[in-house]
Amino acid sequence: MTSLAAQMPGLGDHRGLRGTYRLFAAGNNADISAHVQAFGPLPASGIEGDFIDVLESAGLTGRGGAAFASWRKIAAAGAAARSRAIMATKPVVIANGAEGEPLSFKDKTLLAHAPHVVIDGLLCAARAVAGGQMFMYVSAPSIPAVKRALAERTDARNIKIVAASETFISGEASAVVNSIANGKALPLERRRRLSDSGFKGRPTLVFNVETLAHMALIARFGAAWFRCVGTERDPGTRLLSISGPISGQILEVAGDVSLEDVLTQSGIDVSTVGALLVGGYHGRWVRRLDYRLAPTGTESHTVRPGAGVVHVLLHSQCGLEATAQIVSYLATQSAKQCGPCMFGLPAMARVMNAIAYGDRDPRLLLELVRLSDVVTGRGACHHPDGTAELVRSALDQFSEDVDAHLSGTCLKTKGRRS
């Protein structure tokens, strides 16, 4: 976060928002006056139902992981609210800043330095659906900055702060709703979309805080401005949490950026990189750096940004060991509500660790593939699916390492094994 102040553009002129430097343009720890000076005030009108059309032409997608089209969510919640026979079913809008993903810190950074952009976005989303209650569901470290920001404004009195629990799945959309309604951050069995029936049965919108921040800027500067960065299939910018050998840093990059560009912008020596974990613990390992970071596109050329995580694994580090550590963690993070996840993830972790740490049984590989298939799609949330995806990508990208391990050596940590 040292780079923010250095990159600050000229204040008071939103044309300073050219390029990919957008969300943090009001500088470090921006208070309401710095915020208004950088971005101008939130338009008092023009953000009603037709904001959905603006969002559609902007092409904004969710930045929390699933990359769902934001306009579609809003339209669905609006339609659900209108279809209710009884009055007073105003949609509920929730800003999700739980960020349970251990490798992600862009949401905390955004809430710390640009809370007003997120609050503006929340107000925009609520206005677009004629919403009622608003919540900011954020992790404990973010609460002071959010509280301070809310106290600085008069238009945010209906926004309630709720503390998110520090678990991996606390940010899953139904867990967010469950946490706010019942104090339990566990995913819910869902037969209906949250946009139809969520918080207390009301149409409910859960948006990642970065998604809302983009909305706030789209409301001011329009769809064409949003699209002047990025590409047709992935317009606008996104925040990335970069981690690995270097200390963590946040980048705001253009949509559809190449992984090589991400590394160069992060000041990472490309020649030292063995592999990248993209998307987070539910993401995918990739070794080729000419892949592009976009939510859609062929698997052979694109990798989904997920929650915006890029984690660097050096040539000297073993990808199987790294994956085993992650899968072990993910197994502990099962909500233990669904049997296949509660039992399947620990089983996967055991086999993954056996392969990573010296067991030479040749049947382990097939067993891990089998377990990954068994757990997939069999839970109330996507925790087992995401874990299986990670394991599959590790077995694919580190296949030579698997061969080496099963014959008693490691390509990376030579000498540690006999």
Partner 1 sequence: MREVLHIDWTRCDGRGLCTELLPTLLGRDDWGYPLAMQAAGGDPSNVVIDFQHSEAAADAVKLCPKMALALAYEADQADETW
**Residue placing its CB nearer to partner 1 in the complex, 348 or 404:** 348
Nearest approach, Cβ of residue 364 and partner 1 (Å): 15
**Residue placing its CB nearer to partner 1 in the complex, 84 or 193:** 193
**Residue placing its CB nearer to partner 1 in the complex, 26 or 341:** 341
Cα 405 from chain centroid? Answer: 33
**Bridge partners for 326 per DSSP:** none
Nearest approach, Cβ of residue 258 and partner 1 (Å): 26
Nearest approach, Cβ of residue 130 and partner 1 (Å): 20
User: Tell me, what DSSP letter sits at residue 42?
Assistant: P
Nearest approach, Cβ of residue 216 and partner 1 (Å): 21
Nearest approach, Cβ of residue 73 and partner 1 (Å): 7
User: What 3-state class would DSSP assign to 198?
Assistant: coil
Q: With contact defined as beta carbons under 8 Å apart, do 277 and 385 qualify?
A: no
CB atoms within 10 A of CB 381: 22
**Bridge partners for 137 per DSSP:** 96, 162
**Residue placing its CB nearer to partner 1 in the complex, 205 or 320:** 205
- Strands of 98-248 (E only): list them: 134-139, 159-164, 204-208, 237-243
**Residue placing its CB nearer to partner 1 in the complex, 288 or 370:** 370
Nearest approach, Cβ of residue 62 and partner 1 (Å): 8
**Residue placing its CB nearer to partner 1 in the complex, 229 or 351:** 351
Nearest approach, Cβ of residue 330 and partner 1 (Å): 14
User: What strand order describes the sheet that includes 292-293?
Assistant: 257-258, 292-293, 302-303
**Residue placing its CB nearer to partner 1 in the complex, 206 or 254:** 206
d(CA 159, CA 408): 58
| In the block, residue with structure tokens 């008071």 | 12
- Which stretches of the chain bind partner 1, using CB under 8 A? 64-66, 68, 73, 96, 169, 171-173, 175-176, 188-195, 206, 337-341, 343-344, 347, 373-374, 376-382
Nearest approach, Cβ of residue 194 and partner 1 (Å): 6
HEC profile of 62-101: CCCCCCCEHHHHHHHHHHHHHHCCCCCCCCEEEEEECCCC
**Residue placing its CB nearer to partner 1 in the complex, 274 or 295:** 295
Nearest approach, Cβ of residue 68 and partner 1 (Å): 6
Q: With contact defined as beta carbons under 8 Å apart, do 90 and 82 qualify?
A: no
d(CA 268, CA 250): 13
For residue 385, give the nearest of 330, 347, 336, 332 by alpha carbon: 330
DSSP state string for 219-263: HHHHHHHHHTSB-SSSBSEEEEEEESSSPPEEEEEETTEEHHHHH
The span from the first CA to the last CA of the chain, in angstroms, equals 43
Q: With contact defined as beta carbons under 8 Å apart, do 367 and 318 qualify?
A: no
**Residue placing its CB nearer to partner 1 in the complex, 66 or 163:** 66
Q: With contact defined as beta carbons under 8 Å apart, do 173 and 164 qualify?
A: no
**Residue placing its CB nearer to partner 1 in the complex, 139 or 376:** 376
**Residue placing its CB nearer to partner 1 in the complex, 110 or 156:** 110
Nearest approach, Cβ of residue 6 and partner 1 (Å): 33
For residue 139, give the nearest of 99, 178, 199, 93 by alpha carbon: 99
Nearest approach, Cβ of residue 45 and partner 1 (Å): 29
